[in-house]
Amino acid sequence: MIKAKISAIEQNDGVSVFEFSAENLSLKMLSLENLQNLRIGDEVRLGFKSSDVFVATSPLLNCSVSNEIKAEISNIQKGKITSSLHLNAGEFEFESIISTASLKRLNLALGDQIYAYVKATSLYIA
């Protein structure tokens, strides 16, 4: 979970976009839920599924994904088909599940600095 503070809210036609600030991070969440009780300045805990995190070895340019997190690979659990990357980004740790074929293709190793991406629709308030 990421401890964050709401820094902006935009709402229209039942759709809300929230912007959050956390330790050296700026994150966005797109929600169709009724979250009228939340206000700018509120502290929340954000989450996302490890299967919703994709990784790159360099920053992505011109893409639609709003949330980029620079992280270090702290552990790799390699399976036959899928592998789990344990990622460290300052004060919080999270996980990305990718295919083992992608792990090999990207030549990922412990200690590598990578970029993790999470779609705004994948973030949720816990």
pLDDT digits (tens, 9 = 90+) for 5-62: 999 999 988 899 999 999 888 999 999 887 878 999 999 999 999 999 999 999 999 9
Residues for the chain: how many in total?
Answer: 126
Task: Give me the architecture of the 2-125 domain, per CATH.
Answer: Beta Barrel (2.40)
Percentage with pLDDT > 90 across the chain: 83
Cα–Cα distance, 100 to 113 (Å, whole number): 18
Domain boundaries of the chain, sorted by first residue: 2-125
Burial class of residue 112 in the structure, from the number of CB atoms within 10 Å of its CB (0-12 exposed, 13-18 middle, 19+ buried): middle
More confident residue, 93 or 36: 93
End-to-end CA separation in angstroms for the chain: 8
Structure token digits, residue 69 = 């997190």
Q: Is 121 left (phi over 0), alpha (psi -120 to 50) or beta?
A: alpha
Does residue 113 register a pLDDT over 90?
yes
> How far does Cα 84 stand from its chain's mean position?
15
Task: From 56, 55, 96, 50, select the one nearest 75 (Cα to Cα).
Answer: 96
